[in-house]
Chains A and B, each alone.
Chain A
Amino acid sequence: MSTGFSNIASRMDRLYEFDREPVAPGKLQTGWQFAGLFAGEHVAATEFVIGAFFVLHGVRAADLIAGLLIGNTLAVLSWALICAPIAVRTRLTLYWYLRRIAGPGVTLLYNVANALLYCVLAGAMIAVAATGVCTVLGWPAPQVGQVMPESPAWVVVTLALGAAFTVLAVLGFEKLSKFASICSPWMFPVFIAGAVFMLGRLGVRPDLGNLWEVLSTRVWNGIATPGQEQFGILHVTFFSWSANLAMHVGLSDMALLRYAKSWRTGLYSAFGMYPGHLLCWLCSGIMVAGVDREMNPGLMAFEAAGWAGAAAVIIAGWTTANPTLYRAGLALQTITPDWPRWKITVAAGAVTSVLACFPVFFLKLLDYVAIYGLVLMPVGAIVFAEHWLFPRLGIPQYLAEKRGWTMNWRALAVWLGTLAFCFALPMHLFFRWLPGYVLALVAYTLLMRWRRS
């Protein structure tokens, strides 16, 4: 078992060899480069769904705006105060830092979990793009509450899109990334255009005199759609804080921020959060209200912005599924290291395309996003404890590296134990990660201290 892990680990290390060394001082990036990166990454296909769901969940207008402001500010602070300081001090990716702390075995499990979660996320993005195609072709899209695919047309569209995205990802990830960099600045104006148009349709006067009245009575009126749970300010705050939990508190954005000149660069995440996770979510909320709360991103965008809107949904799904497929492939390559890049991308694409057929993944996107962050969050707590708490408490650091452990069993126990604790907690899914994070910090510190004594 241990030998098997060691073999896989050594092959896995070769895959990530290119970023093994800490970033050299000459390769550090400016804050504005990070601003562009964050801005491009957080205006994605999923924004069409998330903002719309807040309307269906009956959030009041004032609660939504306050919750998004607080939650996104907390997210920015999490990047700046939790992720960036560790990234800047170590100049390593989470992969290599976790390897020093928890051993290659835990790193392997982290990669596999990450790959599967990425596949589901890419599947949701393909499904969002599929609603755009269905709208253009006049075919029915899945309805809220649907779990399984019920229409052959839907299955055909999602599989065809999944196959097309996969082939394009195989043909040229870098060229597509360049294309995505052209799409990103255009996506945001399409969100704004769709929302402003829908305001007119919802009855806002040209002088905007009744804007707040329309927003608070026809968009975020505090009445949940039948079958949807009622959300309030805390739900919005915690969701917007934890929408990228795996990236900031979970530390996976160490891969980006290790190129930062100082921890303050984490504050540039505001360029992604406020336009993407505040304005775009508000815009998609207004758009769904304009189509009588029908949760169909393609229909919403087509009604609100015509052909440009339909194109935006499809292109957003494509450009955001593409890097997600690439990351899933890279993570999956750890268990199939002899496969060439195209083969693993095709495998990840096939899994993703099948998952995309199941509408539950995009129709339950809020829950999925929360679970995604929750599953990877304990790893961030373990790394945080080892980096900051251990030196202050006199606990030796990096024992897995120093002793050559394949697996730091205490780290694994804390990870799995925290997940069990979080899933058993009698509170809303969005709130569970915070007590779980505290538990993981304390439990890992105590276990490693107890080991020493």
Chain B
Amino acid sequence: MVRRIYGALAALSLAACVAAPFLYLQQAIGEAGYKNALAAASVAWFVFGSLWVRGAGRAKG
């Protein structure tokens, strides 16, 4: 269950990475907002992606 949550959060982080520049293009956020959002979403991906992959390793082990 926890692993699924990590997987969902990881997927959401990737979606945020893609959504951020479109928000900039639509002028909903500025350049700094876009770059900060992309950096934050990237960090989130590495955190939740790592936890998700580690969970997969434990499940196999």
Contacts and interface: CB of A to CB of B under 8 A. Distances in A.
Interface in A378-412: none
A307 B38 CA distance: 9
A199 B25 contact: yes
Interface residues on B, range: 20 to 34
A185 B49 contact: yes
A8 B51 CA distance: 45
Contacts of A194: 21
A192 interface: yes
B39 A306 contact: yes
SS of A interface (majority)? helix
- Interface size on A, as a range, is 20 to 34
Interface in B10-32: 14, 17-18, 20-22, 24-27, 31
A206 B34 CA distance: 15
A191 B11 CA distance: 17
A429 interface: no
A196 B21 contact: yes
A183 to B, nearest CB: 8
A186 interface: yes
A87 interface: no
A28 to B, nearest CB: 19
A193 B38 contact: yes
Contact of B38 (A178, A182, A199, A305): A305
Nearest to B27: A206
Contact of B21 (A185, A197, A206, A311): A197
Contacts of A193: 17-18, 20-21, 38
A200 B38 contact: no
Query: Which 6 pairs across A and B sit closest by C-beta, in order of nearness?
Result: A306-B35, A196-B21, A189-B17, A308-B42, A197-B21, A193-B21
30 contacts: A178-B53, A181-B53, A182-B45, A182-B50, A185-B45, A186-B17, A186-B42, A189-B17, A189-B18, A190-B38, A193-B17, A193-B18, A193-B21, A193-B38, A196-B24, A197-B21, A197-B24, A199-B25, A204-B25, A206-B26, A305-B35, A305-B38, A306-B34, A306-B35, A306-B38, A307-B39, A308-B17, A308-B35, A308-B39, A311-B42
